[in-house]
Structures are given as C-alpha cells and as structure tokens.
Structure 1
C-alpha cells in the first residue's frame, strides 16, 4: 500500500534559506504586533499630554513676553507724559510765549527721540480736552473731522482706575493723513491746576513687535498663535487679512466660553487643539492653535520605529542584496566613469583596471586599447598641427616682399647720391633691423614691445620713402608691452593700410597704431584715414579668396588664420571701414598670451 505524500508549508520552498527567512519574519511581525497593542495606547496618551504641556508653556511664555512689552511701552509713556512741560503746555498754565515755545521744542524732541529709537511705534502724541495737541515731531495735526475725545482709547484712559488703557486693534484716524492698523496705549494726563484728567498721552504701536513675539514661537510646522481682547475681537492673527475677509474662521465663541486652558475641536484631519492663556494685565487672551495630527507626530514615529524593527530581517536581506548587486555593478560604474573622462578629453586618467576574467573584464581591456589608440592619434594630430604652424611661421619670415626690398634699396642709393648720409644711415639701420627680426629668432611668440619695434622699423622706412605724404603715431599702454603675441601680426595690416588706403590719397595720410587692455583681452588697432572700403569688400577681406597683391604677398587672411589657430575662434582680426573715410583693423588676443592653449617656445 503506497503512503500518501504530504506537502508541508516549508516543503513548498525550494530552499531552506527562503523558509527560514519567512518563518523568522512571521515571528518578528507577530511579536511586534503584540507589543504594539500593549504599548501604543500608553505611548499615545503620554505623547498627547506632553504635547499639551509643552504648548501651554510656550503660550504662557508668549503671554508673559507681551505683558513685558506692554510694561515697557507704559514706562515709555510715563516718562514722556509725567514731565511738567507737557502739562503746563497743554493746559495753558502761566507761561510767556518764549517759555511755551521752548517747552514745545523740548517735548517734540522727546517725541522724536522715541520715534527714531523704536521702529514699532507709528505715532507719539498728547491731546487735551481744550484742543491743544502735540503730535510726533510737530509736522502732523489732528484730523479735523474726528472728535478725538470720543475715541474709545481716549475715553478708556480718562475713566480707567489706573489712568492707563490698551486698546484693541483698530485703524487710527485721529491724525490727519495717517491711517494705520494699530494698538493704542493711552495714558491720562492730569491738569495740575484742577486735579482732573483733562488730556491723554498716547502711543500707536504697529504689529512688528507682537508679530515677532508670536511668529518666533513655533507650534509645529502648521501651528500658529493669535490674540483676542476681552470682547473676542481679533488683536493679532498671522492671517489677519483672511480673517477680516471672511476666508478663515476661528472658534472664538467656544474659546471665550471655555472654562479651562484647552479646547479640542473635532474636524477630522484638521482637528485642532486650542491652548489659551489670559493676561491679567491687558485682559488679552493669547491662543495657540496646533493641529492634533502634528501633536501626535511623535506617536506615528514610534509606530514606524516598531514597524521598522519588525521588518528588520527583510531590510537586512534587502541590504545584503543591495551589497551584492553593488559589487557586481562596481566594475561597470568604473567603466562608466572612465568613459566620462574620455568624453571630457582626459585620456591620462581614463584607463580602467578590472582584473575579472569575465565579459566585463574583456570589455574593459577593449576599452583601454581603444582609448590608448584615440589618445595616440590625437597627440599625433596635435604634433602635426604644431609643426604645420611652425612651417607657416618660417614661410612668413622668409616672405619679405621683394618689391619693398627693391624700392628700399633704390631709395638708399638715391639718398646716397644726393649726399643725404644721415638719411642713408637711418634707413639702412631700419632695414637691417627689419631683416634681422625677420630671419632670426626661432620663437613662435614675441612680446608686444618687440612686435611694435618691428612695425616701427617698417614705418621708419615707409615714412622716409613717402616723406610728407605719410604721418603715423604709435600709442601703446605700457602695461601690455610684456604680453606675448605670435610674430608678424601688425606689419601685414600696416602694409595693407598704406598700399590700399593711403598710397593713392592726394593729401597727407595718417596712420594710428594703438594698443590697450580691455578686461582679459589685449587689443591692437591699426587705423588709417585713407580710401576705406565698401561693405561688400569688407565682407570678403578675411576670406581665403582674398587676392594677393605685390604689396602684400601674404594678405590679412594668413594673419587671421594664425591668430585663430593659436588663440581660438573668439580671437583674431575685425574690420570697420567706410568708403572715403578710412579703415580700422583691430587685433584681439588673450591677456595671458595663449598660455592656456599650449606651452610656447619662449
């Protein structure tokens, strides 16, 4: 008889490891759930009570701070209102006009000092029943359409047992042109002759200090503090405009009717706990509104802590899996980083060392071989470009225009026959210097000062040839003379200006060479007042198809090409020209002389 095979729960798993993980997870979850059932009720109650106590302490502290602030303002009002000058001035006691004006000046000085020292005070003023008034610095006046004596804050101070009153929030309209929401602290002024209260000193407070006291006290991320007076009117609320606009409501009637310090509302997710503290001094009630969901946030955190403990093994498994996957993908990440370096042109650090004998190891070896080959090809290309540029430089050095050389030697012979020996020496020296600079010096770059000397030698010869038909000036800032520049940049431009701009001019031609620094760039300018060019000619002057002339065998195209090849496309020659007015050629190079491009042969 065959026995029936029984399949247990654990027998359904293909590995013991999976069975152990599941059984252990179930045991932990059950244990945590039992613990939660016992502990959460106690934890919830404790957290709630602690939150209520903490909030109550915060609100009491705000109430105390506001009372201290009002005390401080009362002291200010006492100092300002208790002086004999104020009483005598307001009630027209025996004073000469000079004495009265002096007293007024002293009082207004005191008022001004108070205003300047306190940014939370809008107005400081004293008003008497007889119509006398002193307001702020003296420039303001009472609103003639308002009877100040009928204002609630005025009557409150006159009839208060202490002679002091603090108003609710209101718009102050007693002072002409000043209509601010304020809280008025008023103090009765006694006429010393009659012993009666016949005036009031008052200070209008803005909300900055009270707002600061309330907003600096945090009751969770959504909780807030507001203030009510004895009648339930809103003195301060962080969303005052919404309250006045009817877009937000508070349970004011319930708060005033509450006999305790706490009131909890049932509003679902928006359930609130109102915590109240009433001031014995002002009669105001400071109310803290906190959301129950925030108060119980710690309770939720405790729940999450227990749940995380229950899921510990699962998280452990996830972490181990994460570690293994990280180890597997680490070579791929290294390969990715190396590719990023290659993308940025950094071949020196792009090699990746992966010793694994698998597909990733094979891929890394191929990648290294590829990057080395690309790097070698790029280095070879850079070397060839550098050699090409050097060859071009040598060609330029050899291209002293034969027509120019012939004409110069002819001029030397002519001057020698004419007995102009000094001129012969000068022209010969300039020619020798020009030739020496052209055929010597293997450096690819020279200083701006050397380039200017080369051009000066060239212009010396041309000036002697053309005599009064050519005038030139050279003005280069001293601070750029040591800047490095590739050779033979200015001479082709100067030659071009003479032969195409000034040579056929009937009157004397002027050539100006300037050099200056602009930011991180150096500008060298060759300007002439010669024939100029049409816009169509200007568009083609820097193109390769520019025709070579006997006066300029190289042309400005070659200069432009060398400048941009060495410094980059953002540098080079730019032209401005008008037909019949002249031409301005500007060479722009970097201030560092192209050090960032490559190491030169200086």
Structure 2
C-alpha cells in the first residue's frame, strides 16, 4: 500500500513538473482570488439546498402523518361503534330469545334493535348502513337484520369467519368501504352473527383530495398491495410528472432518485399511505440561489483569466526551455543531458535538474538489473539443488522395478515426477514453451492427486494457439501448490477441485488457476503479493513476471470466503522460436 501511494505521489509530481511556470503562477493567483469565493458560495449553496430539501421533506412527512392520523381517528370512531354494538346486552338478549310468533320478533326488532343501530348511524357521520346478518331463523327486517344466506357466497364473509375482530374491506373500482366482524353475544344461541357497517368511501377519503399538497401524488394500498385510493395534484405544465399506479410501483421498487417517496402505515387498518413528489419540482426554491452562484463563479473565472494573461508575460526563454525538458521527462525521455553555465537561480535549477536526471537513471539501472540478477540467481540456485542425471537415472530404475513388480501406481507417480523435474530444471534455462510449462503443471497435479488419495479433482483447459508461446519457467506450479495447501487441504465439506485455464486475449497469454477451497477475505488476499505475506512462491512468480515484462503485467488475486480463490496472470504472447532468433542475432 505504501509503494502504491509513493507511485501515485511520483506521478502527481511529474504532472506538476510538466505544467509551464506561467500557468503555475497564473493558477496560484487565480486560486487565491477565485477558489475561496467559489468554495464559500459552493458551501453556502450546498448547505442551503440541504436545509431546503430537509424542510421540504419534513413538510411532506408531517402532512403524511397528520393525514394518516386523521384517517385513523375516523376509523377508530367506527371501530368503537362496532365494539359498542358487539357488546350491547340488549342486542344479545334479542338475538338469544326464542320467538313463538313473527310478531314477537318484529316487536323486539322495532323496539330494541332498530333504535340502537339507526341512532348509531345517525350520530356517526359517513355511516351509511349497519346490518346484523344472522342464521338464528330471524326473517329479514328492513336494513338492520338479514339472514346470513345473503352473504355466504361473498369472499369477505369467509375472511370474517376466519379472522376474529374487526375486518376492513375496500373495493377501489366500486368505491365501497365497509367493516365486518363476527359477533359473539353472551348467552346467545349457537350460530353465526355478522355485524356489517357500510361507510361512505368518498367522505372518508375526501380530506386527502382537499388537502393534498400541490405537485404531489398519493396512493393508499392495503396489506396485499391492492389499491385503496389515489389522488394527485399537478399543475398543467407538470402533468407529465403524474404517475400511474404501475409507474409508481416501478419507481418505488427500483429506488428512483427522480422522486421523493414517503410512506406511513395506518395503525388501525394496516393500510400504507404513499406520497410522492418529483425531486426537480421540490427544488424550485433553489433556482434564485443557483443563478446567484452561477454569476459569482463567472466573475471569479474572469478574474482568474485576467490574472493568467498578466502573469504569462513575466516568463523568460530559459524557463520555457526548462519546462519543455520537464515535459519530455514526463513523457518518458530519460536520456537527455541538462546543464547550464549561468550562475543565477535559473542556472541552479538547470544544473540541479541535470544532476537529478543522472541520479534517477543510475538508480533505475541499479534496481532493475539488481532485481533481475537476484531472481535469476534464486531460480538457478533452486535448480542446482538437484543433480539431474542422478535423479533421472534413479527415477528410471524405480519405474522399471515398479513395472516388474506390477505396481502401476508407483510407476505412474515415478513418471510424473520425472516429467515434473525435467521441465522444472529445463537445462538451467529460465524460458520455455507454454506446452512444457503445462506438462510440468500436469505432472505436479498428478503427483499431488496420488499423495492425497485422489481426494480432489483437477482439469487443465488451454487454447492450442498459445502452446508454442514463450513462458517463464515454473510460474504455474507455485500457484497450483498454493491452491492445494491453502485451499483444498483446509476444505472440510464437499470435494475439492482445481481448474487451470489458458487463453489468448489482446495479444497476451492469460492463465487462471482457480480452486473451490475455503477462500479468504479479500483484504488478506491482497497481502499475498506483498512482503507482509509469509509465503514466497506466489510472490516470486509475480515479481518475476513484472521484472521480465513490466509492472502492468502484475498478478491479480481474487478470493471469497467459503467459495475459493482465483489467481490470474498474463504476459505478452511471443513465439519462443522468434525470441531465440532475436537473441542469437
């Protein structure tokens, strides 16, 4: 991380060094007179926009809460009336009596039931009808009493029986609203008694239509998301902001930033009241502030441009030449010779810049050549640890003995080891064909599969067109080894699998080694290629590729806990024959 920060700082310094001195001075003057004013107005604008936006949202939320509270108070009044009727002893007595003649029943209904239900409707505005449906044998009486058979086929009747308490039902198309509940009169005969209360739909929702804030839309939905009520109020020029219910649902579900959408739930019915307002219309109050800020910014820009022209006339030819040299350095030219015989401050800049360039070239050569030498020495030291001829002869003898004894597994492992070490040593060379590198990897996987009793699967899939391309020696085996030891061996559930894939893309050879092991957190994976990692094999592969081909060919490590790890490398696609010819020439 520290190296990345240093590289970014160097790039920034190179960019700054590439700007002409006249522009630097002009920028400094402009910033001192322009930036503070612009920042002040920008902060004021953002603060004002935030305050106005929050206030607008608070107003909408306050309106929404008040309207829902008003609706709940009205519905609570109807619910209280329903409770009053449900627990009325007089009604319980009437519906529990045995009647000898229809006249006795008629007398009880007219003298007791009608006054209670009709007075309740009278004293509660918006109540259109109260009816008790019963199956105790009573005949229909006006609008107050009716047999249950009239409602048995309705959907709301079944829901009322299944859900005790007060149930509210609404039909948006027919604009009807009513509550229903099952009555359990104390002492009444066993049977079904349903209290039906029909409420004026328009009267309940009229306050929304009358008090809705301008340039807003409103929807009320029940627990199942069905539409209960809708209203919108947009002026003529803003009618295109009005949303149909399906358009509103789309905006709501995708978290639209074009509309401010608020909601409040009714505690009485469980309905949800949705209020939406276009964000652009909500910021109308910001238009004067935007105009003022724009004018101020234009004035500051004019002042900065004026300062630029004044300062640009103060530069000299020597400064121009020095800045051109810096620009060349920024573009990658590091071989220039810079010097000056002048003894003034500008001459000192020339000499200092020339000395700096010499030092940079020296350090680059020392570090680059030193790293390449170090890596080649490390690889050759590793290869030199094994006597190739002795090893091959020994493995050949073991293979012959195994075949003679009928031990095919031992023979197969011996052949795999012979293939692995033959390609790994590669006669001391650091470069080989992709086909040989894949042969080495396949042999290593075969050996590991036998060592692990075949506990994991592996596959190697490569495009034929890359088989003759150049590859550094031993760049896949450390990645496969890391996948086995840190991914597959620690996996406790399921069967492990390692995939090696190779392809050609953008004139580069690409390899990916992937496992389905235990994985790791991405922040841990990012440290594998740094000095903080305890392992060396994977980091060595990354360093060798970057040293031989450049920093842009760095390895990429991706990992997810519980899913596995994926390592990807790539390098230029070059035919090994072409490279050998160019080296010999």
Q: TM-score if structure 2 supplies the norm length?
A: 0.38
Whichever of the two has the greater Rg, that structure is: 1
More helix by share: 2
Higher relative contact order (CA 8 A, sep 6+): 2
